[in-house]
Amino acid sequence: MGIEGWLRYPFVFIDKVRTMPGNAPALLKIRQRISSRDAIELWKKLRKEGWMFV
């Protein structure tokens, strides 16, 4: 898929990770791909539940 495809069908990755002890990098457990429209709706829902942009 070229740049035109990315612009036509944008999507967002949602990663779920497990924190590791010490300074070890987080372990990727699940990666989910959702459309940008669904990502915006999810963000609105999370904001209503108290999540903040950091």
Of the pLDDT bands very low, low, confident and very high (cuts 50, 70, 90), residue 54 is: confident
Each residue's pLDDT tens digit, 30-48: 999 998 889 889 999 999 9
State how far the alpha carbon of 24 is from the alpha carbons of 11, 19, 20, 21, in Å.
29, 8, 6, 6
Domain coordinates in residue numbering, the chain: 3-48
What is the model's pTM? 0.60
Each residue's pLDDT tens digit, 20-29: 999 899 999 9
